[in-house]
Each structure stands twice: as C-alpha cells, then as structure tokens.
Amino acid sequence: MTPANETAQPRPTSLSDFLRLHMKGLLDAVGGFLNRLGLAPMSLTLFGLAGHVVAAVVLAGGNMLVGGLLLLFMAPVDALDGTMARLRGQPSSFGAFVDSVTDRYSEMLMFCGLLIHFLRQGDAPASVLVFLAAGGSLLVSYTRARGEALGYEVRSGMLTRLERYAVLIPTLVFNIPRVGIALVAILANVTALQRFLHVRRQANKR
C-alpha cells in the first residue's frame, strides 16, 4: 500500500517512461558527472543535434552501419540534458521547449539522410516509406503536444521516439534499413491514430 502522504508513481505507458523510472539512478550519476565537468545542459542539447547532422550526412552517403552507430551513441544524450538541468535546480519551460524542438529536428535530419540515400539509388518505394515514417513520427509528437495544450492526457501509444530509434537503429547497423523504415512508417502512424482516439475518448467523457 502507498502511504497516505506519498504519491504513487505513475504506471509507465511506454519504453521511454519505463527507462526513465528504472534508469534514473544511472542518468543522475552521469548527469551529475557532466555538471561537475562544467558542461551546460544546452551545450549537450546542441551536441546531440550536431551528432544527428553528422549521422544524416553519413546515412545520405549510404553507410548504414556507421550512421546507425552514431545514432546509437546520440540516443542517451537526449535524456541527459534534462537530467542535468534538474540536478542543477534549473529546469525551465523554455529549456524543455528547446529540447523538444531539437528532438524533432534531429529526427527529421535522420530521415532526410535516409531519403537522400534512397533518392540517389532511385528507390521510389523506400523513399515513400521514409516520407511516411517521417510524417508519422511528427504526428506522434504533434498529437501529444496539441492534446496536452488542450488539457488532455496524451502519453499512450506503442511507438514513441525512443521506440522508433529502438526499431530503426538495429536495422541500420545490420544494413536492412528498409525493414526498420517500413516498421516505423506503419507503427508511428498507428500510434498517432491511437493518440487521436485516446483524446477522442477523453473528449466524449467531458
């Protein structure tokens, strides 16, 4: 039983939530170390964006292995800037806004690199899949942002950003990018629809 003076932890609804809950100690340790080095959270945010620029260029050149490994290295960075700001006692709404915007740019850069590669190969079906994956990924984020701005809870769905990376990165490393892109193209749009229906249910209850 949860004591009356304690608040129960919210049940994780995604892999991102699960990892934040169970990896908090490790993130705090690494974030504290980076703070002691004198790094600013915003510097880490920009470093993550720059890393995605490099990964996009590598993917555009057709080197899926190196591009996938770069994205794998960049993935933990996205969780550390917020952790660093919290440990400093300096979390801000503007910092969260910048983090969200750079996350969207980072993801679109990744898809842009893949799109350039497939266009250069003359692979129209794969190019269409990249477009659908990018569009679905944006809609997953937009449905949450718009829904929460209207006062709804919108954290559900099978393929949040971390899950999209978890699906795509292994397929890049093993040089089967079409498989990962096809999965993201389907599941990201399904997730956006899940969130739409979740908000609709809440709206009907109101």
Condensed to tens digits (0 to 9), the pLDDT of residues 147-186 reads: 999 999 988 778 888 899 999 999 999 999 999 999 999 9
Alpha helices in the chain (DSSP H): 15-22, 24-36, 41-60, 64-74, 77-88, 93-121, 124-149, 161-173, 177-205
Q: Determine whether 17 is an active site residue.
A: no
Per the domain annotation, does 133 fall within a domain? yes
Per the domain annotation, does 102 fall within a domain? yes
pLDDT of residue 23: 66
Nearest to 68 by CA among 170, 198, 167: 170
DSSP annotation of 206: -
pLDDT of residue 202: 93
Per the domain annotation, does 73 fall within a domain? yes
pLDDT per residue as tens digits for the range 41-61: 788 888 889 999 999 999 999
pLDDT of residue 160: 86
Per the domain annotation, does 4 fall within a domain? no
CATH of the domain at 192: 1.20.120.1760
pLDDT of residue 99: 83
Per the domain annotation, does 34 fall within a domain? yes
Number of domains within the chain: 1
In whole angstroms, give the CA distance from residue 147 to residue 46: 27
Residue/partner pairs of 182-186 with CB below 8 Å, 24 or more apart: 182/129, 184/133, 184/136, 184/137, 184/159, 185/129, 185/130, 185/132, 185/133, 185/136
Per the domain annotation, does 2 fall within a domain? no
Q: Spell 126-148 as b/e; 16+ CB within 10 A means b.
A: bbebbebbbebbbbbbebbeebe
Out of 17, 78, 81, 103, the active site residue is: 103
Q: Is the pTM above the cut of 0.85?
A: no
Q: Domain containing 192: what range?
A: 15-205
Ranges in the chain, pLDDT < 50: 1-10
Per the domain annotation, does 39 fall within a domain? yes
For 123, counting Cβ atoms within 10 Å of its Cβ (0-12 exposed, 13-18 middle, 19+ buried), the class is middle
Per the domain annotation, does 22 fall within a domain? yes
